A and B are shown apart, each in its own frame.
Chain A
Amino acid sequence: MMSASLARIITTKTDLFRQCCLPLLLLVLSLFMSACTTTTVDEFRQGETGIEAHQSIVILGRRQGSTYETREEFVTCVGERVARGTEAIRVIPEKEFIDSLFPWFEPRTAPLRTSDLQVLMEEPLVAQKITEYGIRYIVWVDGQTETSNRMGSISCAVGPGGGGCFGFGSWEDDSNFDARVWDVSSFASVGTISTDSTGQSYVPAVVVPIPLIARVEANACSSLAAQLQQFVNGG
């Protein structure tokens, strides 16, 4: 019979494993078990850039296309990352800006060219709101993530003795996003940053499915945001 003290030691060790080792193990597993992603960033500069501390930018998603629209979550992700770090830039949240300037930045009414922005700024209420926000640059993000090459299948079954899955699945994600930067002070396009991120995800299943997901859109977001931050700061 196990003594009470030995049982306590085993229990304590189990608790210690749960508290310290298990989260660490899960972190290490999650780091190693994500699939590989390749990201390419291109920058095309058309003019000088720079931003002062009291100025801000707004990042808006293009939603005029009939086949796709830029996801709000991606635009938010880029905005949050641009607003972080040592070279952080003040970013006006997309929804707040669009609601505040309603109905001028809706999918049907948003300016498609810098000349449209110039015409729009002749509206006193629009010019006043943009001045109040201190907006120096409007960044238009356009793109999507497409999934292709889906292969394999996974079958799962449950019986009286338990359950499990068996099989293998994989797919490829491709994120393509452009960020066009408009200078509000000169009504000119000052540059475009493009990002292309691809990655293959795998889900092998032997009793338990183990997803090895390529974080394609997240990588596209961080790469685009880092380059955009540098671009706007004039780097």
Chain B
Amino acid sequence: MSVLNSLKKLGPLCVALLLSACGANSVVVEGSYPSPNVRPIPLTLGVYFDADLQNFSYTEYTETGKEEYVVASGQTHMQLFNSVLPSMFANVVVLDSLEAAPGAQVDVVFAPSIEEFQLALPQKTRLDAYEVWVKYNMRLLAPDGAYIADWVVTSYGKTPTESLRSVEAGINDATVGALRDLASNFTLTFRSVPEVSEWLETKGAGN
């Protein structure tokens, strides 16, 4: 009887172990992002994170087509923009929808989106590094929804493999590196995007 009881107790554990072997590993990217040291533009920015960005996750598949890693980076992207944008603009308002912009007293609306996410794992590339490459589409709209600017920003991050570092930690660090690269690139090139530059001139905030 005692053997049967033990088997009954071990049964669910064995099933759980078998199921965990079948599923993909989940990586929820976590990082901290410093505020940029740049002169703020004296305008009020409305920022809108759509559901695709908020819940963005990338799935890496094995060579046989099975899900291997699910990298969830939507929340950390929002954290990054919430850290960067208040240093770039005098005021920042987070919008629940694009329709809320006219009533929010904002000068402009910023709506970022992720177009492409690529992950390179050392076991596949035979390199001693985890690499992440991300392509973004940045949109700048007037409060009424009219087009101001639309441009592409790419970012890249890598982290070397280390003896005691897990694959999940490697993916996390490479993604955080890519996000820092996005922040630095976006911050320093924002004013030089031709349409943005023209729009800033019209608002008297060109220099």
Taking Cβ atoms with an 8 Å cutoff, the residues of A that contact B are 69, 71, 99-104, 106-109, 123, 125-126, 129
Contacts and interface: CB of A to CB of B under 8 A. Distances in A.
Contacts, number: 40
B134 interface: no
Interface of B: 34-39, 158, 160, 180-181, 183-185, 187-188
Given A107-B181, A108-B184, 4 more contacts: A106-B180, A108-B185, A109-B188, A125-B38
Given A69-B158, A69-B160, A71-B160, A102 B35 contact: yes
B153 to A, nearest CB: 12
Contact of A126 (B35, B37, B180): B37
Among A103, A108, A109, find the residue whose CB has the most chain B CB atoms closer than 10 A.
A103
A129 B37 contact: yes
Contacts of B35: 102
B183 A103 contact: yes
A123 B39 CA distance: 9
A124 to B, nearest CB: 8
A102 B181 contact: no
A230 B35 CA distance: 36
Contacts of B185: 103, 108-109
Contact of A104 (B37, B158, B160, B180): B37
Nearest to B84: A103
Contact of A103 (B36, B39, B158): B36
Contacts of A106: 180-181, 184
B187 A103 contact: yes
A102 B36 contact: yes
B37 A125 contact: yes
Contacts of A101: 37
A108 B34 contact: no
Contacts of B39: 125
A103 B189 CA distance: 11
Contacts of A100: 34, 37
Contacts of B34: 99-100, 102
Contact of B188 (A69, A103, A107, A129): A103
Among B37, B160, B181, B187, find the residue whose CB has the most chain A CB atoms closer than 10 A.
B37
A172 to B, nearest CB: 17
Nearest to A105: B184
B184 A102 contact: yes
A86 B20 CA distance: 56
B184 A103 contact: yes
A125 B39 CA distance: 8
Contacts of B180: 102-103, 106
B39 to A, nearest CB: 7
Contacts of A71: 160
A126 B39 CA distance: 11
A184 to B, nearest CB: 17
Contacts of A108: 181, 184-185
B37 to A, nearest CB: 4
Contacts of B188: 103, 109
A104 B184 CA distance: 8
Contacts of B181: 106-108
Contacts of A102: 34-37, 180, 183-184
Nearest to B129: A69
Nearest to A109: B184
